[in-house]
Amino acid sequence: MGGNIYFLHEADKLTAFAPTLFDNEERFQTLIARNPDILAGDQINPDNPRRWVLIAREMGVPAEQDGLAQWSLDHLFLDQDAIPTLVEVKRSTDTRLRREVVGQMLDYAANGAIYWPLETLQKCYEAQLECGGTSLSDIGVAPEEETDFWQRVKDNLRNGKIRLLFVADIIPPELQRIIEFLNGQMSQAEVLGIEIRFFASEGHSVFVPGVYGRTGEAIQSKQGGRIWDEESVLADIAKVSGPAGAEIGRSLIRAFEQMGCYVWWGRGKSHGSYTIGIKGTKNYMFSVYANARYTTVQLYFAYFPEDKRLEMKHRFEQIPGIRIPAERLAKYPGIDLLQLKEPLSFDLFVSIFKDYIADIMK
């Protein structure tokens, strides 16, 4: 299981967290349902971290059209690109983790992709919302984009563009090999193992996720589409937000490059995008991407330190027309790129992040 990990207190005192196994599968599943970020979306796609909205736990999977559920999937999530993500959870002490779980997952994938009516998924999502679950807007899907989003969910299911996640507290070597084989052979579906290591000390817990199956060959075979660059992204923005939008997009790139930031270019077949981050770190600050109606600047509040979020909210709201809802402080609120059209608004936006970078890099 490996050794301890250590937490350093302010007084230079260490607390040892010992490796522990989950003693209860229900507890394991509940942890994932309530805290889906533990599924390592930043490791699954470091350039564009996956964000999750839970559709249902114990999602019924029929074996025929309009049939009753024959199986029960532990979790069904969607990510911000409308990719259905099937999650099956097993403790390492469960002997079914070796082989049976693979057959189960393939049954779920083969049948769910065909026999899940879109209306059923939407109803499950609405039921989750009524219980306080994550909304599509929390993962960056604007209300006016929801119709298109659900259509993409339907298309992805029909085309087999799904993600299968085997989750355990320890992924055994034989399962690792199966995952890598499947991920390398499947052209549309992504197959990964998520190992969530559990460490405990005096009533406190630490969880360390890791991803298996993301081999170089598999990444290359699935990414497909085009790799966007500055010219193509700005041309895409211009189609939606006009020459003014493209100029703002270009000016943002230049301003943040001058501050030593890094630009990650999106990859895909639809709309162009780029993400700005602090070089040498995983501190993503914002993304810019064109969609069907306007160009969004998505602010990565979820990546900001908790003690900085309220201050950042107040500063962004000094820009005319920008409001950051309080319930989005740990999420990914979006603004229209054209709200930065006025020079004073643009300069204020840049200065907010300039101060943020200086504070983070102290």
Shared domain for 33 and 159, answered yes or no, is: yes
For residue 55, what is the enclosing H or E element? strand 52-62
- How many domains are there within the chain? 2
Shared domain for 299 and 204, answered yes or no, is: no
Q: pLDDT confidence of 172, banded at 50, 70, 90?
A: confident
Supply φ then ψ for residue 327, to 5 degrees.
-75, -5
Shared domain for 35 and 65, answered yes or no, is: yes
Tell me how far CA of residue 150 lies from CA of 3, 87, 93, 193, 212, in angstroms: 45, 20, 38, 26, 29
What pLDDT shows up at residue 4? 85
Query: Can you give the pTM of this predicted structure?
Result: 0.67
Tell me how far CA of residue 244 lies from CA of 83, 136, 235, in angstroms: 32, 29, 11
Shared domain for 158 and 233, answered yes or no, is: no
Taking the C-alpha atoms of residue 4 and residue 320, their distance in angstroms, rounded to an integer, is 50
- What are the DSSP calls for 64-86, one per residue? STTPPEEEEEEEEEEETT--EEE
Where is the domain boundary, 198, 223, 248?
Answer: 223
Shared domain for 244 and 215, answered yes or no, is: no
Q: At residue 138, does pLDDT exceed 60? A: yes
Taking the C-alpha atoms of residue 110 and residue 121, their distance in angstroms, rounded to an integer, is 16
For 279, the 3-state DSSP assignment is coil
DSSP tag of 271: -
Average pLDDT, the chain: 87
Non-local CB neighbours of 292 within 8 Å, separated by 6+ positions: 145, 148, 240
Q: At residue 309, does pLDDT exceed 70? A: yes
What pLDDT shows up at residue 132? 87
Name the one residue in this structure whose structure tokens are 């983790």: 97
Shared domain for 213 and 319, answered yes or no, is: no
DSSP tag of 160: T
234: its two tokens? 């700005």
Where is the domain boundary, 181, 201, 223?
Answer: 223
Terminal Cα distance for the chain, rounded? 36
> Within a 13 Å sphere around the CA of 190, how many CA atoms are in the beta-carbon half?
30
What are 180-223's pLDDT values in tens digits? 888 888 878 899 999 999 898 888 889 999 999 886 555 555 55
What pLDDT shows up at residue 252? 96
Shared domain for 254 and 282, answered yes or no, is: yes
What pLDDT shows up at residue 229? 87
What are 27-83's pLDDT values in tens digits? 899 999 999 999 999 899 887 889 999 999 999 999 888 888 889 999 999 999 999
Shared domain for 311 and 347, answered yes or no, is: yes
238: its two tokens? 């211009």
What pLDDT shows up at residue 354? 94
Where is the domain boundary, 206, 223, 240?
Answer: 223
What pLDDT shows up at residue 5? 87
Non-local CB neighbours of 27 within 8 Å, separated by 6+ positions: none
Taking the C-alpha atoms of residue 41 and residue 37, their distance in angstroms, rounded to an integer, is 7
For residue 259, what is the enclosing H or E element? none
Shared domain for 129 and 178, answered yes or no, is: yes
Taking the C-alpha atoms of residue 193 and residue 148, their distance in angstroms, rounded to an integer, is 30
Taking the C-alpha atoms of residue 190 and residue 214, their distance in angstroms, rounded to an integer, is 9
Could you tell me which of 305, 297, 193 has the C-alpha nearest to residue 240? Answer: 297
Q: pLDDT confidence of 100, banded at 50, 70, 90?
A: confident
Shared domain for 207 and 242, answered yes or no, is: no
Q: Which residue has the higher pLDDT, 143 or 95?
A: 143
Shared domain for 217 and 231, answered yes or no, is: no
CB 47 within 8 A of CB 227: no
Q: pLDDT confidence of 245, banded at 50, 70, 90?
A: very high
Shared domain for 161 and 234, answered yes or no, is: no
**CA 89 and chain centroid, separation:** 19
Q: At residue 161, does pLDDT exceed 60? A: yes
For residue 12, the enclosing domain spans 5-223
What pLDDT shows up at residue 41? 92
Taking the C-alpha atoms of residue 85 and residue 175, their distance in angstroms, rounded to an integer, is 19
Taking the C-alpha atoms of residue 35 and residue 19, their distance in angstroms, rounded to an integer, is 20
